Structure 1
Amino acid sequence: MSVEPKLKRFKQNVLSKYQIYNSIFMTLPFDTITKTGVLLPLFHETCQKGFAKGEDPTTIVDTFFKKYQARRTKESQINLLFRFIQYIERQVVLFDAIEDAAFPIINNMEGLGTLRNLKETANSENRLQELKDYLEEFKVRIVLTAHPTQFYPGSVLGIITDLTEAIKENNLSEISNLFGQLGKTPFFKREKPTPYDEAISLIWYLENVFYASFGEIYNYIQQNIYDDGKKHNEIINVGFWPGGDRDGNPFVKPDTTLKVAKKLKQAILKKYYQDLKSLRRRLTFRDVEERVIRLETIMYNYSLDPYSTDGITYKELIKELLSIRNHIVKEHQSLYVSQINNLINRIHIFGYHFATLDIRQDSRIHHAVFTTVIDHLIEKGSGYFPKNYHDLTEAEQIDILSKANDDIDDLSVFDDEMVVNTLKTIKCIKDIQANNGEKGANRYIISNNQTALNVMQLFSMLKMIAFKDNLTVDVVPLFETITDLENAPAVMEQLYSNPAYRAHVAKRGNKQTIMLGFSDGTKDGGYLMANWGIFKAKELLTEMSRKYDITAIFFDGRGGPPARGGGKTHNFYASLGPTIEDKEVQLTIQGQTISSNFGTLESSQYNLEQLISSGLFNRFGKNKIPLSQEDRAVMNDLAETSYQTYKNFKSHPMFIPYLERMSTLKYYAKTNIGSRPSKRGSSDSLVFSDLRAIPFVGSWSQLKQNVPGFFGVGTAIKAYEDRGELNKVIRLYNNSKFFKTLLDNSMMSLTKSFFDLTKYMAKDKEFGAFWTIIYEEYLTTKRLLLKVSGYTELMENEPSGKASIEVRESIVLPLLTIQQYALKKIQDLNKAEVKDEEQLEIFEKIVTRSLFGNINASRNSA
């Protein structure tokens, strides 16, 4: 059977369908202005022609109204722009649904990177036993975070799901009804979601997608690779941040954490009940039926009250199901054994916790809390903490902390809310472990971790508040900035050299999880340096950990777009080589990455299999050769040059003013998409270190300038071109899959850039020169990436991905034009002698509303 090329499949199954369904969608009368659907294509055409002629957004909008809508009042024009925004938002949803429906046709579900392909490769190379052995210790953990890069409310996500199914079946009447529903469903949130709301929306994915896809993957491995019916390593698991991630989010309280943990347990018990209910219809045999009914009844009641003492323990449930299975094998010809196995496998993966709730807090908060706790203990006359504790050296403090064994049972002695909440959260972990099992919550992540003292402060607090001599929690330092990454190996050696901490790691299986943050790394050091800095840190941390007989487990804080460590993520894991520990792949999945990469059963299964295979590729692939010294030197030099270029750019006097006044940065806080504040500090003026990575990267994306995904890359490569040594960079590109993946992902950032949109800024007296710096770096990077890769156009190796981006960028072109038009109006209104507050409010509303569609359209940034 011949398979059409991927691009052809995309054109037939996505592009053609979009054109057909969009034409139906545009004729539906959603509102009083029935002409919106007719006028939008004309506006779209005006935008395309206008930018081709070098016109600015203001001229384009004015031209459109003059040519097609000359009789409209100013108020009526504004209303039409709002209608355009609403239509375009819904066009993006339509395209999402069509792409989701076509996913299994566009992507080869049994091709390269899938488990079937992995098994066949191992078979043909006579390495099946090696594969089995490796699967016994290998794990993939995806950690769902509530970071606000997803602008769809739950009701719209539901419509996308239903629309996807209707499109698969070509059910025109249902599609038409869903279009109608879509037209009348609000896309924006009038109030910020609470952290609990965020948790509920992500639990939807656990129940409706991951429960099935994780189960299918595990079943496949169990049946087709092991084929022995025995219990094996669970291989895949899921982590969860909403309700536990307190970093920068004052709204996550200890009660929130407990409430989310309870909801997670309740959700998984309901899934087991539903599976038992289905089993009951099949297992109607004597000596079996009543046992299944009994389990079903227990599980139903237990799901209503997950903390009831009348439930059934995890071990009892597994034991009873195994007993039923064995009885059926013996007495009933193994009828429906595979369905029982499927349930046992899911219970093995998800336990009574469903997802492991991670706790996270900033080291600076810990330090403040810890200081209060120590002062209290000193005042009380602790046997461990001397009165001059705060004057001691870091090493002396660590020594005391490793031995401290005070009990702090009564939290009412503390007045400060932050102190009480931090300490209560530690108690919560123990409560969750008692109710959901140890995997319910067994990791505490310290963001902005800079020293070994940061880790030991938390280590001792965990013991003194709740765990005493039996600490069943992993302490996970998170290294983010370039400096912190460089210091990380020394920090870990200090910890490994501490007998108390080393003993704790031994009790945790001689494994140490270390988190590395891409988002803040890129914000701090630019694209190449952030990625190379993390690569080098992983090498040194691997070497350091092995020296102490410890396995380093790397947990990557990756965002959706390449600028935040995303892009084709599995390619990174397949490119690490032998110098980096590869027993586990752990990464954060957030915002639109969840819905775009894991939003449907097919995409979830496919992308999980790609991650599993990429981790195993290091073992099985031809990637055993580390970078040569020459290639390393080039990579290092490129990263350093790019870092310097980015640092100079970041310290340009116009950098902050440009973001503040020419971008959408300050409007992120008004979108009500996430529960946490959009910046860390409380000062009115914009301070770079307070900026969160998401609005920072997002603002460049809205400008269609994607600076964090390429700035400095072109200048770094040009230095080699100027010296006549470009061949060294080309050799590195051909030799290193890691470097190739970096440049390929940077090409994605360039593909999504569109400088014609903001070309008018070049004439701006204040910001013209600054805009030109960005544009010239874009041109240099684009030219040299094509030269190094040998491509004639960007993303030449990924034609279907490029085509998808082009359609999405085309859909939002009118939206971007409206946004820039509104931003320019705001600038002019702010310069006026008398401010028209009413007009200002209207245009600010346009900017905020246009953020939604632009971000949602970028879902394939993941």
Structure 2
Amino acid sequence: MPKLRLTTQREAIFNNEVISRFELFNSLFLTLPFYKIKDTGTLLPLFFKSCEEGIKQHKKPAQIIEEFFAKYTSYDQPNDIIDLLFRFIQYIERQVVLFDAVEDASFNKLNTTDEQATLSSVLKNSADNKPALAKVEKLIEELSLRLVLTAHPTQFYPGSVLAIITDLTKAIKENDITIINSLLQQLGKTPFFNKKSPTPVDEALNLAWFLENVFYFAAANIQEELDRDLDEYNLESKKILELGFWPGGDRDGNPNVHVETTLAVSKMLREILFRCYYRDFRVLKRRITFRGVEENISILQDVLYKNAFDQNLEVEDISELLKTNLNEIKETLLKEHEGLFVDLVNDLIRKVDLYGNYFASLDIRQDSRILRNAHEYCRQNKPISSLYPVNYDELSEKEKLAIISFKEATIVYPTKADDLTNDTINVIKEIKDIQKRNGEKACHRFIISNCQQASDILQLMELFLWNGWSKDTLTIDFVPLFETVNDLKEAGKIMDILYNNPFYKAHLKNRGNKQDIMLGYSDSTKDGGYLMANWSIFNGKTELTAVSKKHNIQLAFFDGRGGPPARGGGKTHRFYASMGKEIANKNMQLTVQGQTISSQYGSIESAEFNIEQLINAGISSGIKELHNVLLDDDNKAILDAMADDSYQAFLELREHELFVPYLEKLSPLKLLSKINISSRPVKRNGDGKLKLEDLRAISFVTSWSQLKQNIPGYYGMGTSLKNQEKAGNWDKVVKVYSESDYLKTIVDNCMMSMSKSDFSITAYMAEDKEFGAFWQQLYNEFELTKEMLLKLSGQETLMANYPVDKKSIATREKIILPLVLIQHFALEKLQHNHEEKERQSLEKLAVRTVFGIVNAGRNLA
């Protein structure tokens, strides 16, 4: 079917199935009798109209809101005004949920897979061509996808709301008005936020909702389809999908994560998995009531029940026991009972193969500076103290590498270490027991954040050898994380040193000559801006691939992607599909975090679709293995120049004296710590003065998105393109764009960021004495970038090539427009003196708006 016709059909479906139904259900929603919000539904449309008209006239938010209250209500006391605004927020938050559910109910009608990129299609097209089929077989053997769920603080829907969304989506699909009405009422009475900050274990439990209710089924369904496709062509089955998990293991910058946290989460993941297994087993047991399987059923009944519910059980890895008994049942069914219900057995076997005893691998992550401190502490104690000079930390990297000896030892600790060092030592010891209980894959990766030199990896390996591990049993993969622009430039040299180190080389051989390398999109964007971050990662991947290939190492890039394009998000699968043969791309690994989890993996249908999109991207990229035109000398020179220009523009902005004050005063940045959704601090230096370098990338990007300016997602792009035009290189830039899917994806995602920006909301700032010129600078770059991107892409409007996505974004932005105004109103009021009680109310008002704005954006933070 032609792409234009398909797009038109999707637009029609979106208008009829999503927009029309939302308006219908929203009218019902606004009349529901919720507690303490009488007449709010009547006033909200009037408030929205006042907001729209006020923005057109460039009025300040406080003026817009005060004029609304004077015209449409009798409220004149601050408490009454704030109370009604809170009620508006409650409604709008739930309108966002309603729109989510309506849109999700039409998911299958709106989203279609490119059949040409599926494994089934590739196999079919290669069936009569032995060399082609052999190439596909080799690709399948090497292909893998690892999705890692992370607990970054932008997953605002609690489990109770996620369950309502699931049920509401189902009811909307079935047009069950009675159930819809009941669920909307339930939604109105269900809290959307926590009264206190969650612990890391709470975060893990909330995130495990997706493992239990979505991924457990979606991953197995996809594996079943893969097995069926491969079996049709007599190819061996291959486990492609793996799940990873960060809550409870990621302690980088989170002082609330301790070794006890890690142990509790590993136990929790195992228990939830076995409850899933037991749930499936009960269905299987109810059907398989035949002779010859009684003993196997009895064994499974006993072990599954105990592992799911017995808190005092001494646990161990029993995955082989489960598979042995299930396979014996399968064999009996095939031999003696015509294979009746064998599909139920196959399904459970497949799930045990996928999830083992652990469900998702628990990654451990810590900053290199903390790990260096732990290494220093251990060196002070016997017997290690005799191996290192006192001035070891002052030595050059070359001198350090010559001294590191990888001696196995049992250190005696006569003095107590600081808390972070103590945690590092204890978690290293406990990983071994986690592997014993849940299997090796339950916890086998240690990620080193802010990795700046080869010794950061090698010293961590020594910490393992000094704390209960031996060289022969070191079942750990050490994963460097390169985050800043400068770190990415040095990454290739660091890995070359590691690959040449005899001890590390032997360790990699024991691990199958496989190396995972993590790249951070969020911090690189905060450090260098949107284009420089993406270009630095592209070049870093190219160099790291070449270095690994030289040493015959199978490389897997672990991409630390956030939700928005400014943090590596957007249409992620298109990035993977656009890689050339110069970048290792057969082992895809990426973080899934924040609102992206619920928006892209919130239902079994959407999870299956998005997982398939990533697998298909790996297949199509692997089959084509085309040369990436961005590496041609002329094209690379153009992108180098564009990235440098973009970087300089972003750097000048970052160093502007008003950059941090602007964010502090006009965005809810300083209030983000009051949002009770995360155990992780907003910034790394605790209660110290706010510095940009200490600010977490997620807080940085979220603050700009709340302002509806999304600076990290586009700033510098317009300047870089304009400079190329002035230099007479415009035709060359257009040619590069037309030939490079990678550059197209960068541009498309940049347009997505800009589509979620609206400078008209803050247009009143142009006349501000303090920030007027600074606001104008931001606005000018936005307009320049918009002009240049439209000229480059040949589109008439931003995201014109994605009309359904464009309309979805516009609708969501319209829904939450009053929230943005309320937030600005509260922040503006907070600039003046108030009694403590009123100040707290205004702060709470500003904080509450953040939830709905991020939820509506789906990938804003």
Would the TM-score normalized by the shorter structure come out above 0.5?
yes
After TM superposition, give the deviation of residue 313 of structure 1 in Å: 2.2
Query: Is 1:852 equivalent to 2:851 in the alignment?
Result: yes
Give the Cα separation in 2 of the matches to 1:44 and 1:254: 49
Root-mean-square deviation (CA, aligned residues, Å) is 2.0
**8 A Cα contact 1:618 1:624, kept in partner:** no
The equivalent of 1:177 in structure 2 is 182
Query: Is 1:444 equivalent to 2:449 in the alignment?
Result: no
The equivalent of 1:562 in structure 2 is 565
Single out whichever of 703-712 and 714-723 deviates more from structure 2: 714-723
TM-score (norm 2): 0.96
Query: Is 1:571 equivalent to 2:574 in the alignment?
Result: yes
The equivalent of 1:582 in structure 2 is 585
The equivalent of 1:543 in structure 2 is 546
The equivalent of 2:775 in structure 1 is 771
Query: Is 1:190 equivalent to 2:195 in the alignment?
Result: yes
| Offset from partner CA, 1:327-350 (integer Å, 9 cap, x none) | 222222222222222211111111
From 235, 238, 242, the equivalent of 1:237 is 242
| Offset from partner CA, 1:694-733 (integer Å, 9 cap, x none) | 1100000000000000000000000022233221211111
The equivalent of 2:840 in structure 1 is 841
Give the Cα separation in 2 of the matches to 1:381 and 1:48: 69
| Offset from partner CA, 1:280-309 (integer Å, 9 cap, x none) | 222222112442243123211222237835
**8 A Cα contact 1:115 1:609, kept in partner:** no
Give the Cα separation in 1 of the matches to 2:418 and 2:837: 42
Aligned in 2, Cα 1:307/1:326: closer, same or farther, shift over 3 Å? farther
Give the Cα separation in 2 of the matches to 1:33 and 1:608: 41
Query: Is 1:133 equivalent to 2:168 in the alignment?
Result: no
Query: Is 1:788 equivalent to 2:788 in the alignment?
Result: no
Query: Is 1:510 equivalent to 2:513 in the alignment?
Result: yes
Aligned in 2, Cα 1:306/1:299: closer, same or farther, shift over 3 Å? farther
Give the Cα separation in 2 of the matches to 1:412 and 1:270: 43
Query: Is 1:150 equivalent to 2:158 in the alignment?
Result: no
After TM superposition, give the deviation of residue 129 of structure 1 in Å: 4.3
Aligned in 2, Cα 1:276/1:165: closer, same or farther, shift over 3 Å? same
Structure 2: gaps (5+ residues): none
**8 A Cα contact 1:363 1:446, kept in partner:** yes
| Offset from partner CA, 1:640-687 (integer Å, 9 cap, x none) | 110111001110111111111121111110011111111000353211
From 18, 26, 47, the equivalent of 1:43 is 47
Give the SS at the match of 1:556.
strand
Give the SS at the match of 2:827.
helix
**8 A Cα contact 1:321 1:344, kept in partner:** yes
Query: Is 1:619 equivalent to 2:622 in the alignment?
Result: yes
Give the Cα separation in 1 of the matches to 2:215 and 2:406: 42
Supply the AA of the counterpart residue of 1:61.
Answer: I
The equivalent of 1:253 in structure 2 is 258
The equivalent of 1:714 in structure 2 is 718
Aligned in 2, Cα 1:312/1:402: closer, same or farther, shift over 3 Å? closer
Give the Cα separation in 1 of the matches to 2:158 and 2:517: 33
Aligned in 2, Cα 1:109/1:393: closer, same or farther, shift over 3 Å? closer
Give the Cα separation in 2 of the matches to 1:113 and 1:79: 53
From 250, 263, 267, the equivalent of 1:262 is 267
**8 A Cα contact 2:227 2:238, kept in partner:** no
Supply the AA of the counterpart residue of 2:733.
Answer: V
| Offset from partner CA, 1:578-600 (integer Å, 9 cap, x none) | 10012200000001111011110
After TM superposition, give the deviation of residue 130 of structure 1 in Å: 3.0
Aligned residue pairs, count: 854
| Offset from partner CA, 1:764-806 (integer Å, 9 cap, x none) | 1111111111000000000110000000011011111111101
Query: Is 1:606 equivalent to 2:609 in the alignment?
Result: yes
From 300, 303, 324, the equivalent of 2:329 is 324
**8 A Cα contact 2:137 2:235, kept in partner:** no
After TM superposition, list the pairs within 5 Å mapping 1:209-608 onto structure 2.
209-227=214-232, 232-305=237-310, 308-309=313-314, 313-377=318-382, 380=383, 382-408=385-411, 410=412, 413-469=415-471, 470-608=473-611
**8 A Cα contact 2:70 2:76, kept in partner:** no
Give the SS at the match of 1:721.
helix
The equivalent of 2:816 in structure 1 is 812
Give the Cα separation in 1 of the matches to 2:57 and 2:108: 40
After TM superposition, list the pairs within 5 Å mapping 1:647-666 onto structure 2.
647-666=651-670
**8 A Cα contact 1:592 1:859, kept in partner:** yes
Aligned in 2, Cα 1:203/1:230: closer, same or farther, shift over 3 Å? farther
**8 A Cα contact 2:358 2:439, kept in partner:** yes
Give the SS at the match of 1:597.
helix
| Offset from partner CA, 1:299-329 (integer Å, 9 cap, x none) | 1122223783587722122122222222222
The equivalent of 1:166 in structure 2 is 171
After TM superposition, give the deviation of residue 124 of structure 1 in Å: 8.6
From 721, 727, 730, the equivalent of 2:731 is 727
Query: Is 1:692 equivalent to 2:700 in the alignment?
Result: no
Structure 1: gaps (5+ residues): none
Give the SS at the match of 1:589.
strand
Give the Cα separation in 2 of the matches to 1:26 and 1:135: 52
**8 A Cα contact 1:280 1:293, kept in partner:** no
Single out whichever of 529-538 and 334-343 deviates more from structure 2: 334-343
Give the Cα separation in 2 of the matches to 1:50 and 1:690: 37
**8 A Cα contact 1:213 1:604, kept in partner:** yes
After TM superposition, give the deviation of residue 621 of structure 1 in Å: 3.5
The equivalent of 1:741 in structure 2 is 745
Aligned in 2, Cα 1:299/1:693: closer, same or farther, shift over 3 Å? same
Supply the AA of the counterpart residue of 1:400.
Answer: I
Give the Cα separation in 2 of the matches to 1:663 and 1:115: 46
Give the SS at the match of 1:714.
helix
Single out whichever of 238-247 and 299-308 deviates more from structure 2: 299-308
Single out whichever of 710-719 and 217-226 deviates more from structure 2: 217-226
| Offset from partner CA, 1:92-134 (integer Å, 9 cap, x none) | 1111111111111111257465555555555598744432331
The equivalent of 1:675 in structure 2 is 679
Supply the AA of the counterpart residue of 1:561.
Answer: P
Give the Cα separation in 2 of the matches to 1:310 and 1:661: 53
Aligned in 2, Cα 1:311/1:746: closer, same or farther, shift over 3 Å? closer
Give the Cα separation in 1 of the matches to 2:124 and 2:815: 41
After TM superposition, list the pairs within 5 Å mapping 1:753-764 onto structure 2.
753-764=757-768
**8 A Cα contact 2:296 2:328, kept in partner:** no
Supply the AA of the counterpart residue of 1:837.
Answer: E
After TM superposition, give the deviation of residue 225 of structure 1 in Å: 2.4
**8 A Cα contact 1:411 1:423, kept in partner:** no
Give the Cα separation in 1 of the matches to 2:128 and 2:678: 49
After TM superposition, give the deviation of residue 455 of structure 1 in Å: 1.0
Give the SS at the match of 1:765.
coil
